[in-house]
Structure 1
C-alpha cells in the first residue's frame, strides 16, 4: 500500500479501455473539434487584428488538450495484444497524420499567423519560440511553394510518406518469423533461453523455434558455438521484413523530391537546418573525422578477434577460412571478455534480476533528482481509476504503474505517472523505447497538467526457476530508456509542443546517454545488484540445484566481478562505434544524393551492405558468394529493419553520436567525481531536463556547463584524444 500522503494523486491516470470502433470515433471527434477551432479563427479574425493570443494561442491550447488522447490512440499499435485494436490504432495514426498535413498547408490560417508575427508583440520567451517555430513550419510544410500543381504534389508526397511510415512500423511490430533448430545446434546458448523457446511438433519434433525478438536473437549470436547456426540466424534477421525494402526505397525517393520542391538540394539539408548541426557539411565532417580516427583501432580489434577465432576453430579440428564475419562479432567479443578479462556475463546477470534492478534504478533517480516513485497495485489502482476498476489504468496485465512525486526537498508535489511494459509478446513493439502517453503543460486556467510516460522493452520473461535476469548491456538499455522517461516526467513547459523529449534530434539522446555512466560506476553497480537466489526460497533451491559452485554467492555483486566488468568498458569500442557510424553514414548517403535521378537509381541494399563492410571492417555473406571476383551485395536488406530512419531519425541518426559529445561533456564536467551529488542532480533536473525544447538546446547546454560544449571529453572517453 502507498504511503498516505502519496495515495491520491491530484490527477487520475489515463484510461485504456477502447474498442477498435471507439478508438476511431475518438480520433474523428478530436480532428473535427480541432478543424472547427481553426475554421472559427479564420472566420472571425481579420488579418489587421491578428495577434498571438487570438490566432496561435487557441490552436496551441487545442494541441495541448488533443495530445491527452492522441498519443494514446496511436500507442495501441505498439502494445495491444488485439490485432483489431492495433489495426484501428494504425488507422487512427494515418487519419491524424493526414489531418496534420492538411492543417500544416492551410494558407488562410498561415496568412493570419504571418500577420500576427509581423505585429512584433512582446511575448514571453517560450511563446515567442512557439510563434517562430510554427511560422517556419508552415513554410517548410509547403506554403513556401506557390499554389498550384507543385504544392499539390508536395501534399501528395507528405500523405504517402505518412502511409509508408505507418506500414513500415506495422510490419516490424507484427513480424513473427523464426527458425527451427535442434538442441544440439543450439549448443552453448544458455538454458534459460532455450527452455523458453516454443517446442516443435510433427516435422519439427525434437526442435525448438528461435524468433528474432531480442531475448532470443542476441543470446544466440553471443553463445551459439555452431558458426553455421549464427550465420543462419544473422542473415535471416537481416531479411525478416523484406516487405519493407520497397517502402524504404520509395520513402527516400519521395523525401528527396519533396526537399527539392521546397528549394533544398536534398532531404538532409531540409532536415538538419533546424537541428543543432544546421548543415549536412557539419554532420559529414563530424562523421568523417570520427571514421578516420576510429578506423585504425577497428582494424587492430579485428586482428585480435581474428586470432581468437583461429585458435577457437582450429582447437575443434575445423578449417579456418581467414575471415571474421558479422555473425562472429558478438560471439568472439563475448569470448574475448571471458578469456582475457575473466568476464562471465551469465554470472553477472545473476546479480541483476529485473525487479530489484528497476527498484535500484528508481532509487538512484530519487536520490539525485529529488523524486519519489510509488508503485500502484491492487486496491490502490481501483481507488485512482476514473472507472473504479484498476485494470482500466493499464493496457496489459503485466504492466507496472507508478505515481511519481517530488520529495520533501522539492516540495512534495505530484510529478506524473510512469508505466513499465517490459516483456515481449506477439504484436508488440520489438525494441526498447520510451513513449509519451500524455505530455505536461499549463492549462488555460493556470493549473498544471501532469505527464504520463511509458517504457516499452523486451526483456526475457521469468520462469519458475529464475526471474528475468539482465545482462549488463540490458541494464544500460534500461537505464537509457528510463532516462528518457525521467526527461518526460520532470519537464515543466508551458506548451506540450516543447514538453520533455520534444527537443531537436541531435540533442534528445544526450540526457539518457549521460545517465548510462551510472551503469559503469562501482558504487552504483553494487547498489543495483542482488543475487537472484536471495529473492525467494524457491529461487535459492533452484540455484543450488543447478549451480556447480561449492559456496553460495554473496548477496551483492562482488568487487572482482565489478572490476572485471568496468575494465571491459572500452574493449572493442572502436568496432562498436564503427557500427554506429555505418548507420549514420548510410543515413546521410541516402539523404544527400547529387541529383534526384541518383537517388532513384541508388541500389539501396547494396549500398547498405557495402558501406557496412567498408566502415565496420567486418565480412558478410558477400565473401561466401563471390563469383568471378564479383561479390553479391544483395544477400540482406538490413535497412528494411531500420525503424529509426522511417520513424523520425531520417538525416538524424548521427544524433546518437553527436549527442555523445554533449553527454560526455556534461558527465565529466559535473558528475564524474561524485555521480550521486544531489545538489548537481537537482541543478541538472531544473536547468536541462525541465526545459525540454522550450529554449534553444545550445543555450540549455551553456546554462548547465557555464560554457559552450567541447568534444574533448568525448574523444578522451574513446581513447582518441589528439
Structure 2
C-alpha cells in the first residue's frame, strides 16, 4: 500500500520510498479532479457554501502529498527525487491550469461573485470569494481558447525551468571544494572554523581542511581568512555559480524565464510580469516600488559611500590595499567592527549554543504568546538531524506540530526557510491545527564543541521562527487564507519583527549563556551588539536595494526579448548601487534563487518594505515594554492569527493604531 495514499495526520516519512511519489501524485490529481467534477455537476444553483467553500476544500490529499515531496526536494533531495520533480511539475502546472481555465467551474464562481452584495458575508468570506474569483480572472479564465492553450504551454515550461535553475545551483554548490593542507593558508581563522573544516575533510577522507560554498563554511572563511588570494578564489567560485561554461549554466534559463513571465503577463493583459504580480500586493504597482526604493536609496547612498570610503582607507592603512574588492568586504568590516566596538563574532559565539538559543526563542514565544514547546519522538522525521515538537497554549490546548532542521548536508539547499506540511483550517466544525517546519544551515557540532552560532545565525533562527509563529498561530476558517497565505510584502513582518528581540538585554538574558560556564552574556557585550547593530547599515541597505532593483529591472522590462547578455543587463541594473569593482567572471542573476526558483519574482523589495513595518511595529513594543502582554496580544490577534483574511494595511492599522512611516526604520538604521 502506498503510504502517501493512506490517511495520515503527520507525514509518514519513514514509510515513504521514492517510488511512491509519482503514483501518489497521479492519484492525488485524480481525486482532486473528481472533487472538482462533483462541484461542477451539482445541480443546485451555485451558493457560497456549495461553490466557494467547496472549492477551497478540494485537493487536500494532493496538497498533503506535494507538500511532503517538494519540501524534501529542498531539504533532503537526491538525483532520483530531482528527476521525479522534473516529471511531476508539468503535471501539476497542467492540473492547476485545468482548474483556472475550466469554464463551467468559473461560471459557478462568477455567479457567486456577481451576487456578493446580497450575500451578507463576513470580511473573511468576502476575502475568500474575492481571492478565488481573482485567481481565475488573473490566471486566464476570461481568455480565448487559443490564449488558454498558449498559457498552459508557458506555465508548463516555467515550472520545469525554475526547477532546473535550482538543480544547477545545488550541483554547482556541491561540486566545489577548496582543500587546504598548509597551516598558513588557514591563518586568521578561529579554531572552531578550522575544526569544522577538518571534519569536512575527514568525511571526504582527506587531510587538512576542506572549505565549501555552504554558508557555515563560506561565510567564516570570507570573514576571517588572512590569505587574500584564497578569499578571492572562494568568492569567485561562489559568484560564478550558474555562470560557467558547463552543463549547469543558468544564463539561457534566466533569459527564458524572464521572457516567458513577460509573455504570460501580456497574454493576461498586463504590461509586464511586475505589473501582474504587484496588483495583488500592498505596494500595488511597479512605480510605487521603484519610488519607495529610490527614496530609501537617496537616504542610504551618502551613508553607504561614506562607510565604503572609511573601509577602503582602513584596509589601505592596515595592509596597503589599493582597491577594495568584494572578497575584502567582510574581512575588513569584521576587523574594523572589532576595533570600533571591541566586538568579535568569535567572542560572542560561546554564548549562543544552538540548544540554548532554541530554548530562548521558545521562552520568548511563551512570554509573548503563551506557547509551550515540548520535544517529542512520537512523530516521524525525514532525517535524524530533525527535531520535532508539540506546541500547546496556556490552557494545554494543542496548537501545532513543529519540525526544526538546523544543519547543512549534501541533499539540502543553502539558506534558511520556513514551510509547512499542513495548513490550519476549520472544517466540519473542527479546528485542524497546522504542521510547521523551519530549515536552516548552521554549523554542526564537532567532537569538542556543540553547535555555536554567530550572532547573524541567531537572528536568522529568530527570523524563521517568526514565520513559524505566523503559521502556528493561524486561526482562520479557510486554509487558503491561513497562516503565511498573505500578500508577499506583508509576509516578512512577523519574521523580521522577531529579530528585534535578539538585540534586547531582557531577551538575551534568557538564553545567551556561556556553553561551558553557564555565565550570562556580559552586559557590555549586549551594549556593543546594540551599538554595532547599525554598523555599515548604509552599505547593507544599498546591497538589499540593489537586489530589489535588479529584480524589478528583470521583471518590469517591457521588452525583455531585447536582452541578450545576462551579465551586461545586470551590470547596468547595479549602476546606481555599485560600491565594489565588478568581477567579470561573476554574475548574481544566474544564482539569484529567490527570484528565479523561489516565489520572490517582482517581490524582492518586500524585505525592505517589511523592514519599514517591522521597525514601526517594534517601536510600539519598545514604548510599552518588549514583553508587554497587551501589545503582544494585539499583534497575535490582528496579525499572526488572521492570515490573509483581510487587507494587510487594515490588519496593521488595527494593531498599531496608524499607518507605518519609514522614520522608525531610518532611526534604527542610524540614517537620520
What's the TM-score bracket when you normalise by the shorter of the two chains? over 0.9
Q: CA deviation at 1:90?
A: 5.4
Instruction: Find the residue that maps to 1:277 and give its secondary structure.
Output: coil
Q: CA deviation at 1:206?
A: 5.5
Listed one character per residue, the Cα deviations across residues 245-299 of structure 1 (whole Å, up to 9, x for unaligned) are 2212211111111111222111111110110111111100000111111111011
Listed one character per residue, the Cα deviations across residues 531-586 of structure 1 (whole Å, up to 9, x for unaligned) are 1114xxxxxxxxxxxxxxxxxxx711111222222110101000011000110000
Q: CA separation in 2, counterparts of 1:368 and 1:89?
A: 40
2:589 aligned residue (613, 631, 639) = 639
- Give the match for residue 28 of structure 1: 26
**Alpha-carbon spacing, 1:570–1:220, altered in 2? closer, same or farther (3 Å):** same
Listed one character per residue, the Cα deviations across residues 506-528 of structure 1 (whole Å, up to 9, x for unaligned) are 11101111111101112212222
- Give the match for residue 179 of structure 1: 178
Listed one character per residue, the Cα deviations across residues 699-718 of structure 1 (whole Å, up to 9, x for unaligned) are 10011011222222122222
| Alignment map for 1:69-84 (pairs within 5 Å) | 69-80=65-76, 82-84=78-80
Task: Give the paired residue count.
Answer: 651
Q: CA deviation at 1:209?
A: 2.6
Unaligned runs of 5+ in 1: 1-10, 315-319, 386-392, 535-553, 622-633
- TM-score, normalisation: structure 2: 0.93
**Alpha-carbon spacing, 1:719–1:566, altered in 2? closer, same or farther (3 Å):** closer
Listed one character per residue, the Cα deviations across residues 473-493 of structure 1 (whole Å, up to 9, x for unaligned) are 110000000110111000111
Q: CA separation in 1, counterparts of 2:594 and 2:616?
A: 25
578-587 or 66-75, larger mean C-alpha shift? 66-75
Q: CA deviation at 1:200?
A: 6.4
Kept after mapping to 1: 8 A contact 2:76/2:412: yes
Q: CA separation in 1, counterparts of 2:56 and 2:290?
A: 36
Instruction: Find the residue that maps to 1:180 and give its secondary structure.
Output: strand
Q: CA deviation at 1:369?
A: 0.7
- Give the match for residue 642 of structure 2: 691
1:246 aligned residue (238, 241, 252) = 252
Q: CA deviation at 1:94?
A: 4.3
Instruction: Find the residue that maps to 1:44 and give its secondary structure.
Output: coil
Does residue 559 of the first structure (1) align with residue 514 of the second (2)?
no
Instruction: Find the residue that maps to 2:138 and give its secondary structure.
Output: helix
Instruction: Find the residue that maps to 1:162 and give its secondary structure.
Output: helix
**Alpha-carbon spacing, 1:327–1:503, altered in 2? closer, same or farther (3 Å):** same
Kept after mapping to 2: 8 A contact 1:235/1:636: yes
- Give the match for residue 4 of structure 2: none
- Give the match for residue 4 of structure 1: none
2:541 aligned residue (564, 577, 582) = 577
Does residue 663 of the first structure (1) align with residue 585 of the second (2)?
no
Q: CA deviation at 1:460?
A: 0.7
1:652 aligned residue (581, 599, 603) = 603
Does residue 142 of the first structure (1) align with residue 140 of the second (2)?
yes
Q: CA separation in 1, counterparts of 2:481 and 2:661?
A: 25
Listed one character per residue, the Cα deviations across residues 332-365 of structure 1 (whole Å, up to 9, x for unaligned) are 1101111111011101011101011111111111
Q: CA separation in 2, counterparts of 1:491 and 1:200?
A: 44
Q: CA separation in 2, counterparts of 1:206 and 1:684?
A: 53
Does residue 426 of the first structure (1) align with residue 441 of the second (2)?
no
* RMSD between aligned residues: 2.1
Kept after mapping to 2: 8 A contact 1:78/1:173: no
Q: CA deviation at 1:207?
A: 5.0
Q: CA deviation at 1:66?
A: 4.1
- TM-score, normalisation: structure 1: 0.87
**Alpha-carbon spacing, 1:679–1:363, altered in 2? closer, same or farther (3 Å):** same
Kept after mapping to 1: 8 A contact 2:438/2:464: yes
| Alignment map for 1:366-381 (pairs within 5 Å) | 366-377=366-377, 381=378
Instruction: Find the residue that maps to 1:265 and give its secondary structure.
Output: coil
711-720 or 476-485, larger mean C-alpha shift? 711-720
| Alignment map for 1:523-672 (pairs within 5 Å) | 523-534=506-517, 555-593=519-557, 595-596=558-559, 598-612=560-574, 614-621=576-583, 634-646=584-596, 647-672=598-623
- Give the match for residue 218 of structure 2: 217
Q: CA separation in 2, counterparts of 1:616 and 1:509?
A: 26
